[in-house]
Amino acid sequence: MDNASVVVSRPAIRWGAVSRSLRGGLKGGEYPWALAFVLPYAAVFLAFVAYPVVYGLWMGSETSLYRELFDDPIYQKSVVNTVLYLAFGVNVKMFLALLLSGFFMRPGWWVKALLLVFVLPWAVPQISTFISIHWMLNGEWGFLNNVLFKLFHIEGPSWLNERWMALSAVIVSHIWKWTPFWTLILLAGRMAIPMEIRDSARVDGATGVRGFVHITVPLLANLYLICTLLSTIFLLGDFNAVNFVSGGGPANTTHVLATLGIRNAFEIAQPRLGVAAVMSALPLVIPLVIVLMRKLRTAEVQL
Amino acid sequence: MAYLSRRSVLRGSLALAAAHPFAGPHIARAAATTASMWFSQGFVQDEDLSLRKAVVDYEKASGNKIELSITPFAPNRQKIIAALTSGVVPDIMGSDPAEILQIYAWQDRWVDVSDVVETQRAQFSDTALQSAQAYNSVTKKRGTYGVPLRAAVVPCHIWRPLVEKAGLKVEDIPKTWDAYFDFFKKVQDNLRKQGERKVYGLGFQVTANGVDPYNLFMAFLVGYGGQDIVTKDGKLHLDDPKVKQAAIKAAAYLGGAYRDGYVPPSAINWNDADDNNAYHAKLMVMDVDGTLSTEVAVKEKHPDWYFKDMVTHGIGYPNDNAGKPVPSIVGLTTGLIPKGAKNVTVAKEFLRHFIQPKVIGEFIELGLGRWLPVMPSLAKSPFWQDPKDPHLRGYIQQGLLGPTIPDHYVFNPAMAEVRNQHVFSMPMIEVAREGTKPEAAVEKAFKRIEEIFAKYKIA
């Protein structure tokens, strides 16, 4: 058979339909106006979101960087620290926030007044707060050890001299700073639970712990999970608590990936290595974001 | 009569925007006389005012404009590295931190400024001229990429009242290295006998944060005779027994003093500001810390501290254990012009103006003397020789007129990485905290140094 005789019939492209589809069903003069409104956002998105992300990926794309990074004992410690920081920092904080949000649901003017005081740590500026904590924990002239000596004649330790104590100080500082914020979010979630459900449960005898277990927990579960995921993502990028409380010390033993990235990029003047340190958290960040997105979609049916 | 419509306004605006570059040639001419400059913020406000004055004087004299941006030290460092990474650079940068000159010269990122330095070559100290140079791994040559502006060395700061409270005298402090530092252990012992619970003899930064621990270790390394760790040809000499012994002695003394309880326990995690704060809180009798910022910071608020209680150089910098003078390591701030700068001509012209002895001398003196000049002739000024000032004459003697050497990263940028990775902090900390033998701790550090130097081969 002659090749030339084979005719492949293609469906005719209907350019008019394609053009209408690209124009999103807009007609006449509507299209330029729609473009005029969208273009600034698209330009900002490309310049400040897409470009930095792609540039970062490009900077951290050499495999030799990761070889150098994984060989670095400071990096290995930083990964362990990051995992501990996330595990304790997020979960202790969120659990406390859950309990405290229940307390702040109680009626009474003094509870409202206490709530006002309680949110203060969250409201004050981060950096000065963490620097103050760093000074308070100083072994010789810090506030904490002076109080211990004056009240109990105890010589307190140098809180930031040992890896686990310094890391604990960082975690506690983070919990202290951010618990009020998440308490407010969960409090709002609790307040959104319709009173009818609570009243019916109370009639059925579900009060106190039973009410908490059978009404509050199921209805808040989705919100709690979303808050936990968000908090994990925020905490992965947290630089301030570690940098200003322990400074990554002693002897570079309390760095997390975020502070190590800055150290590598600017102290050692190797920006690509710094980007690689941050990029190495992506295998954790991407699944978290995917789960979060899915949860947000399903959250429509629940609180 | 023509009416304005939406289309006509849009058309007119676009036409105006397109014609703008041609319609405004005077603006283009103005840009040709403008250079941008980044510099670190001073420790005291007077430093910034002195820089602004130098810039304004230049603008008046030349008709050019300098767009000056003053940023705190740490953000400025980040700004510089980000600019060099992205390629969007200013016309002039101050080399803060100093080693940025050598790190990026290696990558051929600076404009050669030997023609600018040449205009005052006879005025500069040898150490300043050497420190303004760096090895370029692209051209395989050393070149002058920095214009020397100011310098710093590491002096010792002593509280006279604490020494006297211990029943001793500042004038009795021995002149040789070990005896000099041992004296402060005795001060602490005497103070403890009097019930002083929290005063320590020595403010050693046995930490792995900031620039202080490297400066401290290197001061001791040189004090013990290990200054040839890197020679002028950029070669590393860890196999030199003199260097090795000096490093072991430095780790042993610094870590040992901590272990023996003569250094504040929190020093193991100090940052650069912590030792200054601890010294001002009279937590320790003496501190080894760069520049006179410790004194200058309190001059206005506590003149009695500055003029009576704080001692820096009444007794001089200690000699080595054999009684020979120990050279001080100079950290040099230079003016740099990055490749890609838009206005190299004005940048060079400004730097030529700035390093005239009268101009640069005034810039440093208005900054209260925290920084040292880099021209020996400037040391004769009434400011530096003021008999009423207890610090300035001694400081300029130590850092400009006395024996000085460039920092070792000048000879090989690998040493800048050693400094920034805090490689020398580890032997100090391991001896101090874990009681590791100094020999073993130094051996480990030397191995790491060799790995770093392997990346920087100098032909």
Residue of A nearest to B207 (CA): A251
Q: Name the residue with higher pLDDT: B71 or A199.
A: B71
Q: Do A141 and B281 touch (CB under 8 A)?
A: yes
Cβ partners under 8 Å of residue B81, min gap 6: A265, A266, A269, A271, B100
Pairing label, strands B310-311, B92-94: unpaired
Q: Which two tokens stand for residue B449?
A: 């140094």
**pLDDT exceeds 50 at position B25:** no
At residue B15, does pLDDT exceed 80? Answer: no
For the cut 80, the answer to whether the pLDDT of residue A162 exceeds it is yes
Q: What is the pLDDT of residue B163?
A: 97
The tokens for B336 are 């740099």
B13 touching A (Cβ < 8 Å): no
pLDDT band for position B33 (cuts 50, 70, 90):
confident
Q: Which residues of B touch A166 (CB under 8 A)?
A: 269
Task: For chain B, list the domains and their CATH numbers.
Answer: 33-152+330-400 (3.40.190.10), 156-289+423-453 (3.40.190.10)
If you measure CA to CA, which chain B residue comes closest to A268? B420
Given a contact cutoff of 8 angstroms between Cβ atoms, the answer to whether B398 and B312 are in contact is no
pLDDT tens digits, B311-333: 997 666 899 999 999 999 999 99
> Where is average pLDDT lowest: A124-138, A193-207, B106-120?
A193-207
User: Which residues in chain A touch residue B262, judged by CB atoms under 8 angstroms apart?
Assistant: none
Q: Which of A197-206, B176-185, B220-229 has the lowest mean pLDDT?
A: A197-206
Cβ distance A141 to B283 less than 8 Å, yes or no, reads yes
Residue A9 pLDDT greater than 70, yes or no? no
pLDDT per residue as tens digits for the range B39-56: 999 877 888 998 999 999
Q: What is the pLDDT of residue B26?
A: 36
Q: Using 50, 70 and 90 to split pLDDT, how confident is the model at A301? A: very low
Average pLDDT over chain B, rounded to whole? 91
Q: Please tell me which of the candidates B74, B269, B281 has its beta carbon nearest to residue A247.
A: B269
Of A160, A252, A268, the CB nearest to B208: A252
Convert A100-139 to b/e letters by CB count within 10 Å (16 or more is b).
bbbebeeeeeeeeeebeebbebbeeebeebbbebbebbbb
Return the higher-pLDDT residue of B144 and A215. B144
* Amino acid at the residue B148: P
* B209 has a chain A CB within 8 A of its CB: yes
Residues B189-221 have pLDDT tens digits of: 999 999 888 899 999 999 999 899 999 999 999
The per-residue pLDDT for range A139-152, each reduced to its tens digit, is 888 899 999 999 99
CA distance A124 to B372: 40
A→B interface, C-beta within 8 Å: 59, 135, 138-141, 158, 160-161, 166, 246-252, 265-269, 271
What pLDDT is recorded for position A13? 66
Q: Which of B85, B269, B283 shows the shortest C-beta gap to A249?
A: B269
Asked if B257 contacts B263 with a C-beta cutoff of 8 angstroms, the reply is yes
Give the rounded percent of residues in chain B with a pLDDT score beyond 90: 82
Least confident of B4-18, B64-78, B425-439: B4-18
Task: Report residue B204 as tokens.
Answer: 């050693």
pLDDT band at A201 (very low <50, low <70, confident <90, very high): confident
Domains and CATH numbers, chain A: 27-59 (no CATH), 72-301 (1.10.3720.10)
How many angstroms separate the first and last alpha carbons of chain A?
68
pLDDT reading at B6 higher than 70: no
Both tokens of residue A57?
Answer: 């990926």
Q: How much is the average pLDDT of A117-127?
A: 92
What pLDDT was estimated at residue B36?
96
B 243-262 → A contacts, CB under 8 A: none
**Choosing among A266, A273, A275, which should be mutated to test the B contact, i.e. which has the most B CBs within 10 A?**
A266
